[in-house]
Amino acid sequence: MLDALAAELTELESKHLLRRRRTVESAQGVRVRVAGRELRNFCGNDYLGLANDAGLKAAASAAIAEYGVGSGSSHLVCGHQAPHELLEQRFAGMVGLPAALGFATGYMANLGVITALVGRGDAVFADRLNHASLNDACLLSRADFVRFNHNDLDGLARQLAASTARRKLIAVDAVYSMDGDLAPLQALLALAERFDAWLYLDDAHGFGVLGEGKGSLAHWQLDSPRLIYLATLGKAAGTAGALVAAERTVIDWLLNKARTAIYTTAAPAAVAAATLASLDAIERDGWRRDCLFARIAQLREGLASSRYRLPAWSTPIQPIELETSQQALALAEALWQRGIWVAAIRPPTVPTPRLRITLSAAHSEADVAALVAALHELE
Ligand SMILES: *Cc1c(COP(=O)(O)O)cnc(C)c1O
């Protein structure tokens, strides 16, 4: 058995698909230390520079002093502490839906919500570029798993029309995690209405960034009892965990049926307290988004005349597509030698290899200028 695994690992390596980790010896941020060396970081999802923010750290420390470290139990037994409750209420109000429920991670939220809402005899309609956690959730649900081509509304409409499923759910990333483009949410909601389906939005990369921080619902001005909205907190919010918002009846149902919320220990109250401080910063600090969008524009202008193919959109995710995994790895390695960290993302995570460049409000003009200069040098 070990020989078989070792042989497959060797084969992955020969195809430039072996995955490795690097150990970060500093806090998360736009400068990180790896093996004693400081690097400019362009692969994190800390879009607003909140992961190591003094205000969030103070809120977490104060909550540790008051509530301790461990929550001691699941939410339904005795682990649901005051900061958890406050966070759910605050979040629901912020995104404009009646109620919310917290999960320990976004991955768990997707597994729990989808499997609670659909099962055998139902159908879930999913964009082909959805996040892996949504795909896993759809498979686990045992509902008919119907995938449509990326942002193909006509294809989706045909699949919905052909479906005889008892209950239908459309599930998409609101901002695609590896590409950075947006799902056409108004058109998707219109289809959900036409075919009497739920619309589930995974806004891991939109919350904190779009809609003046309130996320994709505000960006697209969506309001409907069919909406089920997920924000994950490990990206722009700078903490950890996830919140799902929807009609009160949906949230009550999830509280009773979402297994990943029921059969797991509540996240530490300190994480919820830090997230509350993060929501303050997201609402208060418009300058963070101004900085972020200025850096995105700087990168795009800096590379406009290069041979790199940049995406058409101006979100913090700016992937550069490459022909082969080997090219992606070689370019990432050459940047690494120049003190710049960008992740090479390869199949099976994405269909086409790429450098996934991400920008943060904490990047300086000099950081982005260094990346642009290095990319020009390596053209
Ligand atoms: C990161 C991510 C998740 C998972 O969230 P975690 O809190 O990291 O588990 C889910 N969906 C999308 C689109 C993501 O990018």
For ligand 1, the distance from its centroid to the CA atom of residue 203, given in whole angstroms, is 9
Q: Which of 103, 131, 205, 235 to mutate to test the pocket of ligand 1 (most atoms within 8 A of CB)?
A: 131
Q: Which is catalytic among the residues 84, 214, 219, 235?
A: 235
Model pLDDT, residue 104: 98
Domain ranges of the chain: 15-48+286-377, 54-283
347 and 325 Cβ atoms separated by less than 8 Å: yes
The answer to whether 80 is annotated as binding is no
Whether pLDDT at 309 is above 90: no
Reported as a single tens digit per residue, the pLDDT across 80-102 is: 999 999 999 999 999 999 999 99
Model pLDDT, residue 16: 85
> How many whole angstroms separate alpha carbon 153 and alpha carbon 43?
31
Average pLDDT value over all residues in the chain: 97
Model pLDDT, residue 199: 98
Reported as a single tens digit per residue, the pLDDT across 32-80 is: 999 999 999 999 999 999 999 999 999 999 999 999 999 999 999 999 9
Give the CATH architecture of domain 54-283. Answer: 3-Layer(aba) Sandwich (3.40)
Residue owning the nearest CA to atom 7 of ligand 1: 106
Strands 198-202 and 227-232: parallel
Reported as a single tens digit per residue, the pLDDT across 320-362 is: 999 999 999 999 999 999 999 999 999 988 999 999 999 999 9
User: Quick one: fold of 15-48+286-377?
Assistant: Aspartate Aminotransferase, domain 1 (3.90.1150)
Whether pLDDT at 184 is above 90: yes
Position of tokens 């960034």? 209
Model pLDDT, residue 152: 98
Helix (H) or strand (E) holding 219: helix 216-220
Model pLDDT, residue 35: 96
For residues 359, 365, 368, 370, the Cα torsion angle rounded to the nearest 10 degrees is -150
Whether pLDDT at 369 is above 90: yes
> How many whole angstroms separate alpha carbon 345 and alpha carbon 319?
9
Residue 202 Cβ contacting ligand 1 at under 6 Å: yes
Instruction: Give the percent of the chain with pLDDT over 90.
Output: 97
Model pLDDT, residue 348: 87
Model pLDDT, residue 102: 98
pTM score, two decimals? 0.97
Model pLDDT, residue 300: 97
Whether pLDDT at 17 is above 90: no
